Amino acid sequence: METSERKETEKVADEQDLKQPVNSYEKQAGGIVRIERETNESEEEFHTLQEQHNANHALYYFSMITDGIVRGRTTGDDSEKIRRIKEHMMTLREFLGEDKAELRTIINSLLEHLNKFQPVQRRQFTLFIYKNWSSILLFAEAYGHKERCFSEAKYQKLRDIVLGTSYFKAWWWELRWTRLIKSTKHFLKSLHAKFNARNVKATHLITAFFNNKMAVVSTILILPKAKREPAMVERTIHSIEDIFHHLCPKNSRLEGLFEELIGILKRHPELTDEDCEKGNRIAEELLKAFNSRTIGKRGNNG
């Protein structure tokens, strides 16, 4: 149980270590690449754990790069993954028994090709994986990862990409079609969210504008005798008329309320107490209707 938990911790730490710059293999040798030996572990257990740890991680990064190539997507900094592959395989060689001379030869060959080829761009990674597929496959087979990570179907797709025949294959178009559908759904969802956000913002602005104008109407009706500039009252009437024409539902009872309120305001400054009382009741009713979103849905019957 402890060994399983430690392996999981090491895997997470190794993935996080990808983000950290490393200047040389020697600096890694005593860190993530090598596992610290437990006091109760035998020499054989320690060597087996080191071997499995480094082999699994090297194959894990090979698999990540291969999947990224086949799926046509970025997998991060692949050159960094190559660096980690080299470090893990270099450490792995130290813990291979004499009975695994053939596997050691395969690992040495892969390391030699990595140092010689120095893949950086995706096209280079594709050619490297394709040309060294048989060696990678033998490496994976030795540790039980052949079918899961390096299947024949994956190799066929990789070969299609290298030979330029992927455009004539159903798997390539199916993959692109699936990605197109996903990206379209994401775009539409994002667009809908932005539209709703703008719509809500616009609604809030209109509501604030209407409430502000009705507050001015209330002050005019509550204090009808106060001295006001005729231009101010006229601007208020024009604002109420604009809201009436653009936002009031047609064929609703609110039409009559708007017309009555505008008619009362146009009699300023000759307003009676009855006009002011009636105008305030209408203003309160319109405010309730507007803030309950009744106004703005043109075509609804009131």
Residue 301 has pLDDT above 80, yes or no: no
Is the pLDDT assigned to residue 284 strictly greater than 90? no
Nearest to 134 by CA among 117, 109, 157, 112: 109
Q: What is the DSSP letter of 294?
A: -
In a domain, residue 296? The reply is no
User: And the tokens for 27?
Assistant: 């600096």
Using a cut of 0.75, tell me whether the model's pTM lies above it.
Answer: no
The residue from 134, 151, 168 where one domain ends is 168
pLDDT band at 29 (very low <50, low <70, confident <90, very high): very low
For 99-150, what is each residue's pLDDT tens digit? Answer: 899 999 999 999 999 888 877 777 888 888 899 999 999 999 999 888 778 8
Residue 193 pLDDT: 78
The reply to whether 297 falls in a domain is: no
Q: Is 277 exposed, middle or buried (0-12, 13-18, 19+ CB in 10 A)?
A: exposed
- Domain identity same for 235 and 135: no
> Does residue 232 belong to any structural domain of this protein?
yes
Whether residue 158 is found in the same domain as residue 194: no
CB distance 224 to 268 below 8 Å = yes
Domain range for 76 is 2-168
Q: What pLDDT does 112 receive?
A: 92
Q: pLDDT value at position 259?
A: 87
Please identify, among 134, 168, 202, the residue that sits at the C-terminal boundary of a domain. Answer: 168
Of residues 247 and 293, more confidently modeled: 247
pLDDT exceeds cutoff 80 at 79 = no
The answer to whether residues 9 and 135 belong to one domain is yes
| 161 and 196, same domain (yes or no) | no
CA separation for the pair 100, 116 (Å, rounded): 24
Token pair 């009808």: residue = 224
Q: What is the DSSP letter of 35?
A: P
Asked if the structure places residue 299 within a domain, the reply is no
pLDDT in tens, 137-193: 999 999 988 877 888 888 898 899 989 888 888 888 888 888 778 877 787 787 777
Residues 181 and 162 in one domain: no
Answer whether residue 35 shows pLDDT above 80.
Answer: no
User: Same domain, yes or no, for 182 and 147?
Assistant: no
Of 137, 168, 199, the residue that ends a domain is 168
pLDDT digits (tens, 9 = 90+) for 185-240: 787 787 777 777 777 777 777 778 888 888 888 888 888 777 777 888 888 888 88
- Are 145 and 238 in a shared domain? no
Instruction: Specify the pLDDT at position 38.
Output: 66
Confidence band of 17 (pLDDT split at 50, 70, 90): very low
